[in-house]
């Protein structure tokens, strides 16, 4: 299957700081999504972004498909941003509907 690597594995920020999370993948993809898992375990979709750039409030994401990476930017971080951020991808031409997840970046925002 496709390899999905996320970095850094852990990140601690002071409230108000900015951060960049990275997702590298080993093959061409036609589907890439970012998720946030809050401290209570709920998984929420942040972006569907197989290519290009999107913004939603303090969060934005960019995927450079030709170079096989995606970035998630968090600006002016808040304590509610704490949790684990996952990148998930589907390889072009793969068996239908297999979405592969990275191992995540655990973000802790300190007040």
Query: Which range touches other proteins (CB under 8 A), out of 11-19, 38-46, 57-65, 67-75?
Result: 38-46
In the complex, minimum distance from the CB of residue 10 to other proteins, in angstroms, rounded to a whole number = 12
CB of 73 to other proteins, least distance (A): 20
83 lies in the binding site for other proteins (CB under 8 A):
no
Dihedral angle sign, alpha carbons of residues 97, 2, 60, 58: positive
- Tell me the pairing of strands 105-110 and 19-25: unpaired
Among 10, 18, 20, 43, binds other proteins (CB under 8 A): 43
Write down the least CB distance from residue 18 to other proteins, Å: 25
26 contributes a contact to other proteins by CB under 8 A:
no
* Minimum CB distance to other proteins, residue 75 (Å): 23
Segment contacting other proteins by CB under 8 A, of 14-22, 59-67, 70-78, 91-99: 91-99
Cα separation, 24 vs 39, whole angstroms: 24
* Among 67, 86, 108, 61, residue whose Cα is nearest residue 7: 86
What radius of gyration, in Å, describes the C-alpha atoms of the chain? Answer: 14
| C-alpha dist (Å) from residue 7 to 52, 96, 111 | 20, 27, 23
């Amino acid at each position: 299957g496709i390899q999905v690597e996320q970095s850094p594995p852990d990140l601690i920020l002071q409230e108000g700081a900015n951060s960049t999370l990275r997702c590298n993948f080993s093959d061409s993809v036609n589907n890439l999504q970012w998720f946030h898992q809050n401290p209570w375990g709920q998984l929420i979709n942040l972006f569907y972004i197989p290519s290009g750039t999107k913004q939603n409030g303090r969060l934005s994401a960019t995927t450079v498909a030709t170079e096989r990476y995606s970035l998630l930017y968090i600006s002016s971080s808040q304590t509610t941003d704490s949790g684990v951020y996952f990148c998930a991808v589907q390889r072009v031409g793969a068996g239908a509907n297999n979405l592969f997840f990275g191992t995540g970046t655990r973000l802790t925002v300190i007040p």
